[in-house]
Amino acid sequence: MMRRVEHHASLSGSVRVPGDKSASHRAVMLSALASGESTIEGLSPGLDVAATSMIMEQLGACRRDIGDVVVVEGPPPGLHHSDRPLWCGNSGTTMRLVSGIVSCLEGSHRLEGDTSLSKRPMDRVAVPLGLMGSSVTGEGPRVTPPLTIVGNTSLRGIDYHVPTASAQVKSAILLAGLFAEGPTTVHEGVRTRTTTEDMLRLAGVAVSSQSVDDGRRVTLTPGRPLAHAWRVPTDPSQAAFFCVLGLIHPHADIEVVDVENSPERTGFVGVLQRMGADLVERPGASGVTLRARSSALQATEIHAAEIPSVDEVPVLSVAAAAASGVSAFRDMGELRLKESDRFEGSMALARLLGCRVWSEGDDFFIEGLVTADAFSSFAINAGLDHRIVMSSAVAGGAGHGCDIDGSDTVSSSYPGFFDDVARLR
């Protein structure tokens, strides 16, 4: 779907972004793995989490929605094999975490995704899950989907160093480790989001974490998760779009309320503050409130390790486009492997806005235009990438408008995004 975004004359008010996608996937999965009824409040309304939920139902869980509360009932004997393909849609989290879950179930499972997901590498989960005793095969050397996973009811726990910073890989291994023989230890060189470990602990599973240099070592003792009453916090990576919009727009004062505050997720706040942003955090009823007001931004240097999943880089590149000076984005290779090639996509967006942009290896550079008022009006194809849709909308709304082809992809994580922006006008 093509959508026109007009420049917004001024923006003010407060927004509460939807439930965190990461926590939502895990709440549905852990509830399905438990025996009996769990409840989930604040579940992400996006299609990615809906895909996870449908797969859990296909594997034997029951879901019913009572008002805003989702009730998931895990079958007492545990999840079981499904003959039908498991449709993961656009969602890498679904495919990678479900790979861990079905690795423990008897039978051959087929996992499929859309054209974006079908290009993403699954060797990063196939290798460790293979070491545990399951078999994960796909297309070509990078094991791209569709996947065939032959599960094994007697997996072995492993001690594994994750070669890339990836919470999804860590999580796939830990979920498989729940039903393995012996403990599973995952070493990560960069501290990625702790959603899985934190939620496993809440579900009564023994998980210990130790900081090691810049990374972490996580050890899980096998055990079935217990049913739980989940409260999903809001999604910090969605808050980032409203923060950048408020900062680069010439007449804006936007509050984002109840933002989940965890160091692995809110690195973007420090980056923006370093750029001179008038971005103030104050404790709120749950999480923090972020207030973003029109600011004159300066260029900065951003390392991937500051923003471990690199989810906020596309919108930070829009901030860099409105700053004065050259911003450097360092060690951003992982960006190429997201819903689209966000390395090229972030550069392409800044170029469309009128910036001089270049790359060297895994680094890229954006020479800012000092103000969003200098942005060109542009047209972009979002390429099945929700974050490119929202980053483009931020640039167009603060600058001089844009046309976004494929804007409906925003529904993978934030179906109400354009309505929430409209309410600030």
**Which residue has 């990078």 as its token pair?**
142
According to DSSP, residue 29 is labeled H
Q: Which segment (36-44, 125-133, 164-172, 281-289) binds ligand S3P by CB under 6 A? A: 164-172
Nearer to ligand S3P, 58 or 309 (CB): 309
Look at residue 402 and give its three-state secondary structure: strand
Cβ-contact 274, 314 below 8 angstroms = no
Distance in Å, CB of 244 to ligand S3P, minimum: 18
If you search the block for the tokens 């409203």, which residue do you land on? 242
Q: Is 311 a catalytic residue?
A: yes
Residue 196 Cβ vs ligand S3P, minimum distance, rounded to whole Å: 7
* Dihedrals phi, psi of 143, to nearest 5 degrees: 50, 60
Whole-angstrom distance, CA of residue 316 vs CA of residue 237: 11
- Distance, in Å, from the CA atom of 243 to the CA atom of 3, rounded to the nearest integer, reads 22
The residues in 332-391 that bind ligand S3P, with binding defined as CB under 6 A, are 334
Q: How far is the CB of 240 from ligand S3P (least distance, A)?
A: 12
d(CA 82, CA 84): 5
The DSSP secondary structure of 128-139, one letter per residue, reads HHHHHT-EEEEE
CB-CB neighbours of 58 under 10 Å: 18
Distance between CA 297 and CA 316 in Å, rounded? 11
3-state DSSP assignment of residue 122: coil
Among 31, 53, 58, 171, binds ligand S3P (CB under 6 A): 171
Of 309 and 317, CB closest to ligand S3P: 309
> Which listed range, 64-72, 114-122, 163-171, 206-214, lies at the site for ligand S3P (CB under 6 A)?
163-171
Q: With contacts defined by CB under 6 A, name the span among 27-35, 154-162, 165-173, 254-262 that binds ligand S3P.
A: 165-173
Rounded least distance, CB 93 to ligand S3P, Å: 4
Q: Is 53 in the site for ligand S3P (CB under 6 A)?
A: no
Please name which of 276, 189, 258, 334 lies closest in space to residue 41, comparing C-alpha atoms. Answer: 258
Nearer to ligand S3P, 89 or 396 (CB): 89
Instruction: Determine, following the binding rule CB under 6 A, whether residue 167 of this chain makes contact with ligand S3P.
Output: yes
Q: Tokens at residue 363, please?
A: 């680094």
What Å distances lie between residue 83 and 55, 59, 80, 110, 148, CA to CA?
12, 10, 10, 8, 12
**Stretches 112-120, 161-169, 216-224, 390-398: which one binds ligand S3P (CB under 6 A)?**
161-169
Q: Which 282-341 positions form the footprint of ligand S3P (CB under 6 A)? A: 309, 311, 334
Q: Is 202 helix (H, G, I), strand (E, B) or coil?
A: helix
Q: Calculate ∠ Cα 358-361-367, nearest 5°.
A: 20
Quick one: 266 exposed, middle or buried, by C-beta within 10 A (0-12, 13-18, 19+)?
Answer: buried
Least spacing, CB of residue 139 vs ligand S3P, in Å: 20
Nearer to ligand S3P, 38 or 168 (CB): 168
Residue from 280, 245, 229 nearest 259 by CA: 280
Q: Does 192 help bind ligand S3P (rule: CB under 6 A)?
A: yes
Catalytic residue among 311, 363, 385, 420: 311
- What 3-state class would DSSP assign to 15? strand
- Closer to ligand S3P at the Cβ: 152 or 346? 346
CB-nearer residue toward ligand S3P: 196 or 407: 196
Stretch that binds ligand S3P, among 108-116, 137-145, 150-158, 167-175 (CB under 6 A): 167-175
Judged by CB under 6 A, the number of residues near ligand S3P is 10
Residue from 152, 166, 289, 295 binding ligand S3P (CB under 6 A): 166
Q: For the CB of residue 106, give the shortest distance to ligand S3P in the complex, in Å.
A: 26
Binding flag, residue 91, ligand S3P (CB under 6 A): no
Contact call for residue 168 and ligand S3P (CB under 6 A): yes
Q: Cβ of 417: how many Cβ atoms within 10 Å?
A: 23
Distance CA 201, CA 3 (A): 43
In the bound state with ligand S3P, the residue whose beta carbon lies nearer, of 171 and 317, is 171
**Shorter beta-carbon distance to ligand S3P: residue 294 or 346:** 346
Which of 358, 420, 365 lies closest to 394, judged by CA? 420
CA distance 291 to 132: 46
Enzyme catalytic residues:
311
Residues at the site binding ligand S3P, with contacts judged by CB under 6 A: 22, 93, 166-168, 171, 192, 309, 311, 334
